Homo-oligomer: A and B are copies of this chain.
Amino acid sequence: MNEPRTLLSIDRVSKSFGRVKAVEDISLDIRENEFFALLGPSGCGKTTLLRMLAGFEPPSDGRILLDGRDITRTPPNKRPVNLMFQSYALFPHMSVRANVSYGLEMERLPAKEIRSRVDAILTTTELVSFADRKPEQLSGGQRQRVALARALVKRPRLLLLDEPLGALDKKLRGAMQLELKRLQNEVGITFVIVTHDQEESLVMADRIAVLKDGRLLQCDAPRAVYEHPCDRFVADFIGVTNFLQGKATADGVLTSNGVKIAGKVPNMLSPGVATVAAVRPERIRLFPSPETANRVAGTVEALAYQGLDLQLHVRTPLSDKPFLVRVTADAVDRQPVSAGDQVELGWDAADVRIYAD
């Protein structure tokens, strides 16, 4: 692959609503043909950022460049960018078909082409039988699909999707994810997607940006973000993590009750500084081999059946909170554990991440 080209540059953009700072000094490059996910807690500024990219909200500060051209003040209809609204913003007076056709009509495409493209996207989004209904006659998920279809059918250079699949069931969501991927690959659309479904972002995105309180915390490939969160917040936000508080040592963390956790300490953390060690539940083995760097005994407090796996809550001397351990149902079938059992847990030093506390 060639060096990826930058499609959109967000250059030190900020946005305030009165005293509320919704977006603060964010710089980001979105690459051509990339699938880019925006993650962050509710209210962190994701929608606001997308609205600025689409051109509805002038940034209070900063610039937005598309293909190197400053489009900060370009009106929405002059940008090759489309936004699917979090609240859908369907035209209530138009049928599903009319809603979806609208954007293509604006491009003055031939009626035949409009018809065929609209038919195609209605088929993909399983809306064919609702084509003549008005939005108010649809279910929540159906409305969301109309909004999605309306944005997708335009095939813009850059498509901004604000929680596009949140109201869909897993099956349909899977199908829609495939469709988005197909559009990315076949049509060459660049996507920026807001999602609360972590699995979705981890599976689909080429890169993920994590926002908090209007600021950008980390921007990287999903696996990198998952495996190497830049700080405690990100580690906590993405996936599930066990945190162990203590003080930094040369080669790990000494917890408050004197247990040593082996792990790589970042350079900036000098020994003695308050730190926190993080371990993912799926990195923890039951009954580890004796060479395992970190080992601890505990009592199983609870088992939560999670469909695919079991999550064990194990009481250990390491912290007040139960340690979370994820094991496959299959593994448990072979070596049964139940509440009250004594177990030994273990994990490698390489699986420990250490952060300032």
Contacts and interface: CB of A to CB of B under 8 A. Distances in A.
Nearest to A311: B203
Contact of A137 (B17, B47, B202): B17
A39 interface: yes
A48 B166 CA distance: 19
Interface in A144-175: 144-145, 162-163, 166-173
A282 B309 contact: yes
Contact of A139 (B43, B167, B330): B43
Contact of A196 (B167, B307, B327, B329): B167
Given A140-B87, A145-B42, A308-B282, A237 B169 contact: yes
Contacts of A172: 41-42
A198 B307 contact: yes
A239 B305 CA distance: 13
A86 B328 contact: no
A229 B59 CA distance: 52
Nearest to A201: B307
Nearest to A86: B140
B282 A328 contact: yes
Contacts of A306: 199, 202-203
Interface residues of A, number: 58
Given A140-B47, A167-B163, A308 B326 contact: yes
A140 B168 CA distance: 16
Nearest to A165: B196
A217 to B, nearest CB: 14
B43 A142 contact: yes
B309 A169 contact: no
A223 interface: yes
Contact of A239 (B141, B283, B307): B307
A44 to B, nearest CB: 8
Contact of A166 (B167, B198, B304, B328): B167
A55 interface: no
B330 A282 contact: yes
Interface string A178-209: 00000000000000000010110011000000
B167 A285 contact: no
A196 B223 contact: no
25 contacts: A40-B169, A41-B141, A42-B139, A42-B140, A42-B167, A43-B139, A46-B139, A47-B140, A163-B167, A166-B167, A168-B196, A169-B237, A170-B196, A171-B236, A173-B196, A198-B307, A199-B306, A202-B306, A203-B304, A203-B306, A222-B307, A285-B330, A308-B309, A309-B328, A328-B328
Interface of A: 17, 20, 39-43, 46-48, 86-87, 137-142, 144-145, 162-163, 166-173, 196, 198-199, 202-203, 222-223, 226, 236-239, 280, 282-283, 285, 304-309, 326-331
Which 4 interchain pairs have the tightest Cβ spacing? Answer: A42-B141, A86-B140, A43-B139, A202-B307
Given A47-B139, A326-B328, 12 more contacts: A17-B137, A41-B171, A42-B142, A42-B144, A42-B169, A43-B139, A171-B237, A202-B305, A239-B308, A282-B330, A283-B329, A283-B330
